[in-house]
């Protein structure tokens, strides 16, 4: 195989952004041969690709080795299933599906010969890759406490009004947790591991005229006794991005711009056992270890997907790795609905039944014809 022939399903804001990455020099050995949207789109003519109004026809056309699915979340299951059943490689926009149960169905459908990736682009952010290496190398020792306050995902009302599906149970299966904060939740569990349980508290339509959550707080408990807190919001400005991961040997602290490593000498537990100083504490040294390199995150993930198809490298974010962050998002919602702690692995059938009740009472909104100003670069955090 020379160039990978790729189809793009969904030509909304993020789909168009992905096309720009593929057409640039960020992605190599890839040609967009087909695109699909409900109505004809001039993008197809601009890039020399065939346009389909039906994604089935695109998948059946024989024009593509793989597809990038950038449709609303409610379509991920049916579109992903059809593409995987037809033997195509699939790169799915986040989240993989509305629920862990639907996500697992997709994963079970993929064969070993197919590359099935998920757009968890923050896994290539130099900040988080550096944190991951330090934690995996034991720089912090045993984890004691984790905390991420991520409230700078502010979205004005127009963000929801120009879409008929976004922030509805029927169209997205949630709001803040499965849209914006799914990236942060993925990184949180990628760095710190899956908690054993979560207790969640959500505000539903607290700041916007929507039916799903636009504010969420969660309390995690880990198997080793560590605890964690996650707070997210799309209604707070200017908002906060503060991630702290505390271990026996020190702490990593990221404030949205700079990354700091604090080392304890000796480790906290050792000092506590040995000292005779009633009010003493370990000697600490804090260093700014902020990476200076910049990465086109979406472009890197697409390039990795293409290289995986060509057999040159493994997927950075295999689709099955998107289940844990989705389980946490589902768990926070379920805990909020029931006022009870949710343990992991999540009861997929039980959560699906609870979600289905919300979907049954939900409907897509009337899409506004407001001409919104769109600058996708402002949407990333």
Q: Are residues 176 and 284 in the same domain?
A: yes
Say if residues 209 and 216 touch (Cβ distance below 8 Å). Answer: no
Region 349-359: mean pLDDT is: 97
Does residue 139 lie within any of the structural domains?
Answer: yes
Say if residues 362 and 98 touch (Cβ distance below 8 Å). Answer: no
Containing structural domain, residue 73: 4-120+296-315
CB contact set of 232 (below 8 Å; sequence gap of 6+): 150, 151, 153, 176, 177, 180, 181, 184, 215, 216, 217
Q: Are residues 49 and 170 in the same domain?
A: no
Does residue 22 lie within any of the structural domains?
Answer: yes
Does residue 278 lie within any of the structural domains?
Answer: yes
For residue 280, give the H/E element and its range. none
Does residue 379 lie within any of the structural domains?
Answer: no
Domain of 265, CATH number, reads: 3.30.360.10
**pLDDT(371) > 90:** no
Domain of 300, CATH number, reads: 3.40.50.720
Q: Are residues 32 and 165 in the same domain?
A: no
Say if residues 325 and 45 touch (Cβ distance below 8 Å). Answer: no
Q: Are residues 136 and 241 in the same domain?
A: yes
Residue 113 is given by DSSP the state: T
Say if residues 258 and 283 touch (Cβ distance below 8 Å). Answer: no
Q: Are residues 29 and 17 in the same domain?
A: yes
Does residue 375 lie within any of the structural domains?
Answer: no
Region 69-81: mean pLDDT is: 96
Q: pLDDT per residue over 199-222, tens digit each?
A: 999 999 999 999 999 999 999 999
Q: Are residues 22 and 170 in the same domain?
A: no
Q: Are residues 87 and 175 in the same domain?
A: no
Does residue 174 lie within any of the structural domains?
Answer: yes
Query: What is the residue whose two structure tokens read 């009472």?
Result: 361
Q: pLDDT per residue over 30-60, tens digit each?
A: 999 999 998 888 899 999 999 999 999 999 9
pLDDT at 377: 62
CA dihedral 289, 290, 292, 298 (to 10 degrees): 130
Q: Are residues 49 and 131 in the same domain?
A: no
- For 150-185, b/e burial (b = at least 16 CB within 10 A) is bbbbbbeeebbbbbbbbbbbbbbbbbbbbbbbbbbb
Lowest average pLDDT, out of 98-112, 155-169, 269-283, 356-370, goes to 356-370
Q: How many helices (H) and strands (E) does the chain have?
A: 12, 15
pLDDT at 24: 87
Does residue 91 lie within any of the structural domains?
Answer: yes
Q: Are residues 102 and 135 in the same domain?
A: no
Structural domain count, the chain? 2
Side-chain half-sphere CA neighbours of 365 within 13 A: 20
Q: Which of 67, 79, 77, 72 is nearest to 114 (CA)?
A: 67
Q: Two tokens at 192? A: 């710190």
| C-alpha triplet 151, 153, 155: angle, nearest 5° | 125
Residue that finishes a domain, picked among 281, 315, 349: 315
Locate all alpha helices (DSSP H) within the chain, ordered by sequence. 13-23, 42-47, 55-60, 76-85, 100-109, 126-136, 157-161, 182-192, 268-274, 297-309, 322-338, 348-360
Q: pLDDT per residue over 216-270, tens digit each?
A: 999 999 999 999 999 999 999 999 999 999 999 999 999 999 999 999 999 999 9
Cα torsion angle, 190, 195, 196, 200, sign: negative
Distance from C-alpha of 174 to C-alpha of 313, rounded to nearest angstrom: 34
Q: Are residues 303 and 289 in the same domain?
A: no
Q: Two tokens at 50? A: 């065939």
Point out which residues pair with 50 in neighbouring strands. 34
Distance from C-alpha of 68 to C-alpha of 90, rounded to nearest angstrom: 6
Distance from C-alpha of 110 to C-alpha of 159, rounded to nearest angstrom: 34
**pLDDT(379) > 70:** no
Does residue 376 lie within any of the structural domains?
Answer: no
Q: Are residues 114 and 204 in the same domain?
A: no
Point out which residues pair with 342 in neighbouring strands. 198
Q: Are residues 346 and 329 in the same domain?
A: yes
């Amino acid at each position: 195989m020379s160039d990978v022939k790729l189809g793009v399903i969904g030509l909304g804001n993020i789909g168009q952004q992905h096309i720009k990455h593929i057409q640039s020099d960020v992605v190599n050995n890839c040609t967009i041969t087909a695109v699909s949207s409900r109505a004809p789109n001039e993008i197809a003519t601009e890039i020399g690709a065939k346009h389909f109004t039906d994604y089935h026809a695109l998948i059946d056309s024989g024009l593509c080795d793989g597809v990038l699915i950038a449709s609303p979340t409610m379509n991920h299951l049916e579109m992903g299933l059809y593409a995987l059943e037809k033997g195509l490689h699939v790169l799915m926009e986040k989240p993989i599906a509305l629920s862990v149960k639907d996500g697992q169905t997709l994963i079970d459908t993929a064969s070993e010969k197919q590359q099935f990736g998920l757009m968890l682009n923050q896994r290539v952010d130099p900040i988080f890759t550096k944190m991951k290496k330090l934690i995996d190398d034991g720089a912090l020792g045993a984890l004691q406490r984790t905390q991420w306050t991520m409230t700078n995902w502010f979205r004005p009302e127009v963000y929801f009004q120009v879409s008929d599906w976004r922030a509805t149970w029927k169209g997205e299966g949630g709001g803040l947790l499965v849209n914006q904060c799914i990236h942060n939740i993925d990184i949180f569990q990628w760095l710190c591991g899956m908690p054993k349980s979560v207790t969640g508290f959500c505000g539903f339509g607290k700041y916007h005229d929507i039916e799903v959550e636009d504010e969420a707080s969660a309390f995690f408990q880990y198997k080793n006794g560590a605890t964690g807190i996650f707070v997210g919001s799309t209604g707070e400005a200017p908002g906060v991005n503060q991630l702290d991961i505390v271990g026996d040997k020190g702490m990593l602290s990221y404030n949205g711009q700079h990354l700091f490593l604090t080392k304890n000498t000796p480790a906290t537990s050792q000092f506590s056992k040995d000292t005779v100083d009633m009010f003493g504490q370990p000697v600490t040294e804090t260093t700014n270890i902020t990476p200076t390199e910049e990465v086109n995150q979406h472009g890197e993930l697409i390039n990795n997907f293409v290289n995986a198809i060509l057999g040159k490298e493994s997927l950075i974010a295999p689709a099955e790795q998107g289940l844990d962050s989705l389980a946490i998002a589902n768990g926070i919602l379920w805990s909020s609905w029931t006022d009870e702690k949710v343990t992991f692995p999540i009861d997929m059938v039980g959560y699906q039944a609870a979600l289905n009740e919300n979907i049954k009472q939900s409907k897509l909104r009337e899409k506004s014809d407001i001409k919104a100003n769109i600058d996708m670069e402002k949407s990333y955090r």
